């Protein structure tokens, strides 16, 4: 099981796309579109990774809750 501190560390933001000066206006627009697409793809990958980690954390919490409930039921059975 991974530690909570490792799961909660902030991920570095991807670099901001830089506009390249060009004499061809269509070439500059295409370069900007490509860089924006790369940035969006990077963000999508980070969001998917965060969602996966969130799902893992939820599963671990559910397992811990079930374990705690079993322990409490066992203690109650011994007491009563």
- Per-residue tens of pLDDT for the chain, all 80 residues: 555 555 556 667 666 666 555 566 678 888 899 999 999 999 999 999 999 999 999 999 999 999 999 999 999 999 87
Please tell me the predicted confidence (pLDDT) of residue 23: 63
Which distant-in-sequence residues (6+ apart) come within 8 Å of 28 by Cβ?
19, 20, 21, 22
In eight-state DSSP terms, residue 80 is -
- The confidence score (pLDDT) of residue 74 equals 95
User: Which residue bears the tokens 């990077």?
Assistant: 42
The tokens 């793809």 sit on which residue? Answer: 41
* Domain ranges within the chain, ordered by starting residue: 48-80
Kindly report the pTM of this predicted structure.
0.56
pLDDT at 46: 97
């Amino acid at each position: 099981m991974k530690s909570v501190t490792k799961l909660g560390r902030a991920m570095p933001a991807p670099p901001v796309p830089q506009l390249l000066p060009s004499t061809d206006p269509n070439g500059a627009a295409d370069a900007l579109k490509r860089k924006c697409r790369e940035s969006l793809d990077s963000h999508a990958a980070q969001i998917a990774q965060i969602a996966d980690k969130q799902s893992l954390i939820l599963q671990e919490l559910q397992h811990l809750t079930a374990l705690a409930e079993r322990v409490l039921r066992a203690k109650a059975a011994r007491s009563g």
